[in-house]
């Protein structure tokens, strides 16, 4: 007897769902890596967990490189298709919104069944142009989102290193305020988006965390 076919639906048990996600994700990454090596192709794979955590694989130097290539590819197609459409009967449309409205009117209007083959071919070209621009915009937003996540991850890692330095400094009997003042300026000063108020809040938060750690160390001695 063959294996029983499992119904494809959402796993309700949270623990089982997480285990399945981890196993399937690792298997997918493995297959992606094998395909990239065996066939000498560039692949980018993005996975967002239910909690919004990003998992990624790239056969190139970075996922961003492949996504940029993808966006560039569709921009070239959009430019070529747009040139073809401009040579047709609808060169005076000011925006893709107007183009989409025109397509909708033609497809859902009372004369939709009277469209000729050439009319449908023209509509197909116009829809390809609009779809290509939508995809290019989607890729741009994905790139911006990935950059933001990477920047946040880097900032959190630097703040974590700073706290670890403070713990080591307190154990060695050094002045934690001096170390904190120097390193926190390095961490917070790198990001130009941090305002003085934001820097002050983060600095104060770090000071409080270090003070709590210091008290805990004293009570355990």
Collapse the DSSP code of 48 into the 3-class scheme (helix H, G, I; strand E, B; otherwise coil) and give the result: strand
Q: Where are the domains of the chain?
A: 13-59, 60-220
How are beta strands 54-58 and 44-48 bridged, if at all? antiparallel
Q: Which of 142-151, 169-178, 194-203 has the highest mean pLDDT?
A: 142-151
- Confidence band of 185 (pLDDT split at 50, 70, 90): low
Tell me which long-range contacts 73-80 makes (C-beta under 8 A, separation of at least 24): 74/132, 74/135, 74/136, 74/139, 75/136, 77/128, 77/132, 78/129, 78/132, 78/133, 78/136
Q: Count CB atoms within 10 A of the CB of residue 192.
A: 6
Fold that domain 13-59 belongs to in CATH: SRF-like (3.40.1810)
Judge whether 210 and 165 are in contact, CB under 8 Å.
Answer: no
Over residues 136-168, the pLDDT tens digits come to 777 778 778 877 887 888 888 888 888 888 888
The pLDDT score that the predictor gives to residue 37 is 92
Over residues 41-51, the pLDDT tens digits come to 989 898 988 88
Residues ≥6 apart with Cβ < 8 Å to 69: 42
The pLDDT score that the predictor gives to residue 193 is 47
Over residues 80-115, the pLDDT tens digits come to 555 554 544 444 444 566 666 766 666 666 666 666
pTM value surpassing 0.75: no
Rounded mean pLDDT of 19-28? 93
Judge whether 159 and 206 are in contact, CB under 8 Å.
Answer: yes
């Amino acid at each position: 007897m063959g294996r029983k076919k499992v119904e494809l639906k959402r796993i309700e048990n949270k623990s089982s769902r997480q285990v399945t996600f981890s196993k399937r994700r690792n298997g997918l990454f493995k297959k992606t890596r094998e395909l990239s090596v065996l066939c000498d192709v560039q692949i980018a794979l993005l996975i967002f967990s239910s909690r919004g955590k990003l998992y990624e694989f790239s056969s190139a130097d970075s996922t961003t490189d492949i996504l940029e290539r993808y966006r560039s590819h569709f921009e070239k197609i959009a430019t070529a298709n747009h040139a073809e459409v401009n040579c047709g009967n609808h060169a005076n449309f000011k925006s893709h919104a107007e183009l989409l409205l025109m397509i909708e009117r033609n497809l859902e209007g009372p004369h939709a069944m009277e469209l000729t083959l050439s009319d449908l071919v023209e509509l197909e070209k116009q829809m390809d142009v609009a779809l290509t621009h939508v995809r290019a915009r989607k890729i741009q937003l994905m790139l911006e989102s990935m950059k933001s996540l990477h920047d946040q991850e880097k900032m959190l890692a630097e703040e974590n290193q700073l706290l670890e330095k403070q713990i080591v400094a307190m154990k060695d009997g050094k002045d934690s305020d001096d170390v904190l003042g120097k390193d926190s300026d390095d961490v917070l000063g790198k990001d130009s988006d941090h305002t003085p108020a934001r820097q002050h809040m983060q600095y104060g938060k770090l000071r409080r965390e270090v003070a709590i750690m210091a008290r805990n160390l004293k009570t355990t001695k």
